[in-house]
């Protein structure tokens, strides 16, 4: 599913409402109004009281059109509107307003809402920036205080189409009817919690008008990623064809993180997995997963560089995952610096940076070489550290934060949160999220293992590996075994992959 930003939709609207483009904006408004009316008619009968609350922007015009179509079908509908604002209406909005006025269904904006079964929210559209005006805030509070079923036109009033969600003065919709394409903040938390059920309808906007959106934004769903799967079913295939992943981490008391990452990588299809760790940690890790090899890292920085270089060459390492249980010690920093030096020198081509390695990335401000496949997987706190900004700023604006992280690091970014945003140079993909069971210790290590295993699949781009990994991880919680701990996710990985390979 394609998603659009506020600037994209405003650009399209400016063209649609420019008669020189040869397109009639009232067609779009008619279709939007009819879609809203059909949604209302599906939720109530003709005896139900319906209020359509309109502002004087084009969102309000959609509301006037919806109200007229409901009136024409014999429904008990009232339009709540600040009537002395009708001079501010566009010609298209005024046309539908005049139909409602002629039908005598317009009431004062301050009419009590308690008796209405359905409220259609058409106060504000995608043009909002900042906090709504005081008079609009009062109406939003009144709508939220009602027990009615609330249907928002295009976007809940008070919610910006994209960018930070910095206030709570937003209509809490039961359902949002998105016109043509959903808007970014209706798909990502915290905006998603105001959106309710999301329905997308066509309103006749020429799709070519949206082609100038850079980067392209889509959702991560089964329809968009099934084509990314390919079965390793050649009779001649062997473990080296399926790739060798080196996991660096599991230091001093954090051995479990590396074990989870390695185990999930094997479950997701890696041919070989080796864990490189401290001598003491190796003694703990070795044999826990029979299929995983272990090696001991040397102590000195110079020895680490040469050791890893030789390991990558001699063991035919296809990708490195660094971070799960790496720690934040000076030694950990030296190991991280050795790895990024090797990829900068092109001794290594594929790298995933997760967990504690993101702490060291934030400290050194390293940028990935353009020709190498590098993925970073921060949660909002780690992302904030890299960006040198408060976590709250990242949490309120995952979309733009992911873009900034990708631009700053030159890496494909997987910004994890209640929703997850995957961002590369020319594309953004969104996992809409909202799966509380994934908020468990080690869940992030499992995700990094899945993505890293996909990075070593032949022909798999970093963007596809990241998106597919996020999808598999999420689907393990939705359709796998109940997630109580991270290992529950791992046990579901083969079944989820098998299910979508068949699809």
Condensed to tens digits (0 to 9), the pLDDT of residues 11-53 reads 877 776 665 554 567 889 999 999 999 999 999 999 999 999 9
Per-residue model confidence as pLDDT tens digits over 394-441 = 999 999 999 999 999 999 999 998 899 999 977 899 999 878 889 899
Residue 114's pLDDT is what? 93
Half-sphere exposure of 135 toward its Cβ, with a 13 Å CA cutoff?
A: 8
Which residues are bridge partners to 13 per DSSP? none
Q: What is the mean pLDDT of the chain?
A: 91
In this model, does residue 247 exceed pLDDT 80? yes
3-state secondary structure of 269: coil
Residue 210's pLDDT is what? 77
CA dist 452 → 232, 240, 352, 432 (Å): 17, 15, 6, 22
Which range (119-133, 206-220, 254-268, 432-446) has the least confidence?
Answer: 206-220
In this model, does residue 237 exceed pLDDT 60? no
Q: What domains sit in the chain, N to C, each tagged with a CATH number?
A: 2-213 (3.40.50.10260), 224-229+239-502 (3.40.1190.20)
CA dist 413 → 221, 326, 339 (Å): 18, 20, 18
141: left (phi over 0), alpha (psi -120 to 50) or beta: alpha
Residue 20's pLDDT is what? 53
Per-residue model confidence as pLDDT tens digits over 325-364 = 999 999 999 999 999 999 999 999 999 999 999 999 999 9
Residue 481's pLDDT is what? 81
Q: Which of 66, 180, 187, 72 is nearest to 118 (CA)?
A: 66
User: Per the structure block, which two tokens stand in for 302?
Assistant: 């110079």
Rg of the chain on CA atoms, in Å: 26
Per-residue model confidence as pLDDT tens digits over 276-286 = 999 999 999 99
Per-residue model confidence as pLDDT tens digits over 277-334 = 999 999 999 999 999 999 999 988 889 999 999 999 999 999 999 999 999 999 999 9
Q: Which of 459, 416, 418 is nearest to 437 (CA)?
A: 418
Q: Are 416 and 189 in contact (CB under 8 A)?
A: no
Cis peptide before 215 (omega within 30 of 0): yes
Per-residue model confidence as pLDDT tens digits over 88-145 = 998 889 999 999 999 999 999 999 999 999 999 999 998 777 788 899 999 999 999 9
287: left (phi over 0), alpha (psi -120 to 50) or beta: left
Residue 23's pLDDT is what? 53
Span 241-270, mean pLDDT? Answer: 95
Q: Which of 25, 2, 5 is nearest to 13 (CA)?
A: 25
């Amino acid at each position: 599913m394609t998603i659009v930003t506020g600037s994209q939709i405003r650009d399209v609207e400016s063209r649609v409402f420019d008669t020189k483009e040869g397109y009639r904006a009232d067609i779009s408004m008619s279709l939007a109004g009819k879609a809203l009316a059909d949604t209302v008619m599906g939720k109530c009968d003709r005896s139900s009281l319906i209020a359509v609350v309109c502002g004087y922007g084009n969102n309000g015009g959609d509301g006037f059109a919806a109200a007229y179509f409901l009136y024409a079908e014999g429904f008990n509908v009232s339009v709540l509107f600040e009537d002395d604002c009708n001079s501010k209406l566009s010609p298209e909005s005024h046309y539908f307003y005049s139909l409602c006025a002629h039908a005598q269904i317009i009431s004062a904006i301050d009419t009590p809402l308690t008796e209405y079964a359905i409220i259609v929210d058409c106060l504000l559209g995608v043009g909002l920036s900042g906090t709504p005006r005081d008079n609009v805030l009062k109406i939003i509070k009144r709508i939220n205080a009602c027990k009615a079923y609330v249907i928002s036109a295009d976007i809940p009033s008070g919610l910006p189409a994209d960018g930070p969600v910095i206030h709570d003065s937003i209509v809490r919709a039961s359902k949002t009817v998105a016109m043509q394409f959903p808007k970014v903040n209706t798909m990502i938390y915290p905006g998603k919690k105001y959106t309710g059920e999301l329905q997308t309808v066509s309103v006749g906007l020429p799709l070519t008008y949206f082609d100038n959106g850079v980067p392209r934004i889509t959702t991560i769903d089964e329809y968009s990623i099934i084509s990314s799967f390919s079965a390793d079913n050649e009779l001649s295939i062997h473990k080296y064809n399926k790739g060798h992943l080196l996991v660096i981490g599991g230091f001093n008391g954090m051995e479990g993180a590396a074990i989870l990452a390695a185990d999930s990588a094997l479950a997701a299809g890696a041919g070989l997995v080796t864990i490189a760790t401290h001598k003491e940690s190796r003694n703990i890790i070795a044999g826990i997963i029979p299929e995983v090899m272990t090696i001991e890292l040397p102590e000195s920085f110079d020895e680490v560089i040469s050791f890893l270089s030789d390991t990558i060459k001699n063991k035919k390492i296809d990708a490195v995952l660094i971070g799960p249980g790496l720690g934040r010690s000076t030694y950990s920093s030296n190991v991280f610096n050795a790895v990024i030096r090797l990829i900068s020198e092109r001794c290594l081509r594929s790298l995933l940076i997760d967990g504690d390695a993101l702490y060291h990335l934030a400290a050194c401000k390293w940028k990935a070489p353009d020709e190498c496949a590098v993925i970073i997987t921060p949660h909002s706190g780690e992302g904030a550290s890299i960006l040198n900004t408060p976590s709250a700023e990242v949490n309120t604006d995952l979309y733009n934060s992911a873009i900034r992280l990708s631009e700053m690091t030159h890496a494909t970014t997987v910004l994890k949160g209640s929703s997850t945003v995957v961002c590369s140079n020319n594309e953004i993909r969104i996992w809409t999220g909202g799966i509380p069971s994934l908020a468990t210790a080690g869940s992030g290590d499992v995700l990094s293992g899945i993505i890293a295993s996909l990075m070593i699949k032949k022909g798999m781009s970093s963007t596809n590996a990241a998106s597919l990994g996020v999808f598999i991880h999420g689907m393990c919680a939705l359709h796998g075994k109940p997630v109580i701990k991270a290992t529950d996710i791992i046990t579901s990985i083969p079944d989820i992959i098998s299910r979508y390979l068949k699809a």
